[in-house]
Amino acid sequence: MTYTEPRRVLIIDDNPDDAELTARALRRCPVPSVVCVAGDPLTGLGWLTGTLPPPASLDRLPALVLLDIKMPRLDGFELLRRLRQHPRTHAVPVVLLTSSNEERDVVDGYDAGANAFVTKPITSEQFLEAVQALGRFWLGHNRVPRDGDGGLR
């Protein structure tokens, strides 16, 4: 599938090192993307639901949200439940990308509405490879309703 514009990705992760590593891996992916990072879950939620003005790079809903689950103020499960209940964001693809390997977290993630649950690999090389594979699938092959770049309205 070919897109005329880069696909938008929103990373919501309170760990700036993990967010930067994820963004770097996505930029190396063969599918062109514009990556935006929200280091605070409430900011990311506001951008997506339209209650906060998003940065210029997030001028449409993203084709993919990569969401950490262990964050202060609002954990990823509750953020995801709110996205699924909101009419604007109920169908946005969300992948939980987390350091957790707990079965309870996997179950809770899918119960909250995750499209996928990926445990962050230990080494940087494995992490880059995993994120690039996510980018190739979710940005290059997955279809979402069109609004110009493949993101959702």
The pLDDT of residue 65 is: 97
Q: Tens digits of per-residue pLDDT, 58-88?
A: 988 999 999 999 999 999 999 999 999 999 9
Question: What does pTM read for this prediction?
Answer: 0.91
What span, in angstroms and rounded, lies between the C-alpha atoms of 124 and 88?
A: 35
Q: What is the CATH number of the domain that holds 37?
A: 3.40.50.2300
The CA-atom distances, in angstroms, between 47 and each of 61, 83, 104, 107, 110 are 9, 11, 29, 27, 23
Is 17 inside any structural domain?
yes
Q: Are 129 and 26 in contact (CB under 8 A)?
A: no
Q: How far is CA 113 from CA 34, 78, 97, 130, in A?
A: 24, 10, 14, 21
Asked if residue 130 belongs to a domain, the reply is yes
Assess if residue 1 is contained within a domain. no
**Which residue range(s) make up the domain with 37?**
7-72+79-140
Sheet of 116-119: strands edge to edge?
33-38, 7-12, 64-67, 94-98, 116-119
Does 152 have pLDDT greater than 70? no
